[in-house]
C-alpha cells in the first residue's frame, strides 16, 4: 500500500504538537515537535507557529490540523478556550496562506476520536462509543458503529449550574489544587450525567490526563465500561493527519469534477 504521509498538527491550550504521520498505520515518521501555544493565541501568532512547524519538517504535502473549537467547513464557530478573535475565522484559509500548503482543520477531539477508532482503543468496536478528552477543556466525540458525529460539545452541558468543563477539566483540577480522588469523583458525576443523555457502550478517555489513568481510573464507577485511550496524547496529531488525508482526497475529487464540467 502506498504510504500516505500527512503532517498532523494538534493545537492545544498549552502546546502545539506536530509530526509527519503515515496515515496507513498511524505511526509518526519523525520525532514530534512541540512549541508552547503563543500568548495571546490569536490567528497571526498561531499561524506563524504552524508555518514554523511546516518549515521544521521541510513539509511539502497536505497538513491536517486539530483545533479546539467547533469547525464547520474550515470555519471556527466557537472559542471556549481560545482567543475570541478566532470566531468566524476560516482557519483552513489562514493556515494555508501561512504555510503555502493545503491545510484542513478539524475539531481536536474529533481528530483524537478518528485516531483511537482506527489505531487505538476503539479498533473494531461496534455500537456507540463516547471518547472524552481531558485537558484545558473537555472534548467529546460520539462514534456510532464506526461513524463519527462531528462537533458534539458535551463538555459544555450545564452541570452544577455551570459550564461542565469549568467544573471537571484538567485545568480546573490544577487551578483548584484538587487531589486525583477529588477530581475523579467530580468527573464521575459528570460522566453519569452524560451516560443518562447518550447511553454509550464504551467510554474512551483521552487527552493530556489519559497518561495518568493509574491515578484516577479506580475512582470511576459507571454503567459503561471505561478504558484509557491507547494512543494517549499522540491521538490528536495522528487523528489530525487522518482527517487531513480524508479532506485532501475529497478536495482533489471536487477539483477533478469541476474540471470535467
Question: Which residues sit at the interface with ligand BGC, rule CB under 6 A?
Answer: 68-70, 78, 80-81, 107-109, 133, 135, 137, 139, 153, 155, 165
Q: Which of 233, 251, 224 is nearest to 92 (CA)?
A: 251
| CA–centroid distance for 115 within its chain | 9
Which is it for strands 75-76 and 71-72: parallel, antiparallel or unpaired?
A: antiparallel
| Rounded CA separation 49/58 (Å) | 14
Which residue's CB comes closest to ligand BGC? 137
Q: Which is nearer to ligand BGC, 5 or 71 (CB)?
A: 71
Strand-pair partners of 63: 7, 103
Q: Which is nearer to ligand BGC, 77 or 118 (CB)?
A: 77
Q: For residue 243, which phi and psi values (nearest 5 degrees)?
A: -60, -40
| Rounded CA separation 205/208 (Å) | 10
Least distance from ligand BGC to the Cβ atom of residue 86, Å: 11
Least distance from ligand BGC to the Cβ atom of residue 94, Å: 18
Q: Which is nearer to ligand BGC, 4 or 110 (CB)?
A: 110
| Rounded CA separation 59/164 (Å) | 39
Q: Which is nearer to ligand BGC, 116 or 165 (CB)?
A: 165
Least distance from ligand BGC to the Cβ atom of residue 47, Å: 19
Q: Which is nearer to ligand BGC, 108 or 116 (CB)?
A: 108
Q: Which is nearer to ligand BGC, 69 or 117 (CB)?
A: 69
- Inter-axis angle of helices 91-99 and 43-56, nearest 10: 50
Least distance from ligand BGC to the Cβ atom of residue 62, Å: 22
Contact 135, 12 (CB under 8 A): yes
Neighbours of 172 (CB within 10 A): 16
Least distance from ligand BGC to the Cβ atom of residue 236, Å: 9
Q: Which is nearer to ligand BGC, 22 or 78 (CB)?
A: 78
Q: Which grid coordinates belong to 73?
A: 467547513
| Rounded CA separation 29/32 (Å) | 9
Q: Which of 100, 46, 51, 53 is nearest to 69 (CA)?
A: 46
Least distance from ligand BGC to the Cβ atom of residue 227, Å: 19
Which is it for strands 103-107 and 75-76: parallel, antiparallel or unpaired?
A: unpaired
Least distance from ligand BGC to the Cβ atom of residue 163, Å: 9
Amino acid at each position: 500500500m502506498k504510504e500516505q504521509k500527512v503532517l498532523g498538527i494538534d493545537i492545544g491550550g498549552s502546546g502545539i504538537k506536530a509530526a509527519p504521520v503515515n496515515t496507513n498505520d498511524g505511526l509518526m515518521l519523525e520525532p514530534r515537535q512541540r512549541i508552547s501555544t503563543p500568548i495571546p493565541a490569536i490567528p497571526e501568532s498561531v499561524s506563524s507557529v504552524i508555518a514554523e512547524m511546516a518549515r521544521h519538517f521541510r513539509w511539502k504535502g497536505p497538513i491536517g490540523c486539530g483545533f479546539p473549537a467547533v469547525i464547520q467547513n474550515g470555519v471556527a464557530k466557537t472559542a471556549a478556550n481560545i482567543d475570541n478573535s478566532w470566531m468566524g475565522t476560516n482557519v483552513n484559509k489562514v493556515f494555508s496562506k501561512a504555510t503555502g500548503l493545503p491545510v484542513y482543520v478539524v475539531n481536536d477531539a474529533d481528530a483524537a476520536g478518528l485516531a483511537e477508532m482506527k489505531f487505538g482503543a476503539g479498533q473494531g468496536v461496534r455500537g456507540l462509543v463516547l471518547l472524552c478528552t481531558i485537558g484545558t477543556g473537555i472534548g467529546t466525540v460520539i462514534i456510532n458503529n464506526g461513524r463519527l458525529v462531528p462537533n458534539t460539545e458535551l463538555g459544555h452541558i450545564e452541570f452544577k449550574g455551570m459550564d461542565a468543563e469549568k467544573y471537571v477539566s484538567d485545568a480546573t483540577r490544577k487551578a483548584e489544587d484538587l487531589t486525583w480522588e477529588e477530581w475523579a469523583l467530580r468527573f464521575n458525576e459528570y460522566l453519569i450525567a452524560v451516560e443518562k443523555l447518550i447511553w454509550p457502550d464504551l467510554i474512551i478517555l483521552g487527552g493530556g490526563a489519559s497518561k495518568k489513568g493509574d491515578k484516577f481510573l479506580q475512582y470511576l464507577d459507571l454503567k459503561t465500561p471505561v478504558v484509557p485511550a491507547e494512543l494517549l496524547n499522540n491521538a490528536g496529531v495522528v487523528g489530525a493527519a487522518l482527517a487531513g488525508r480524508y479532506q485532501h482526497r475529497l478536495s482533489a475529487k471536487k477539483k477533478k469534477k469541476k474540471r470535467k464540467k
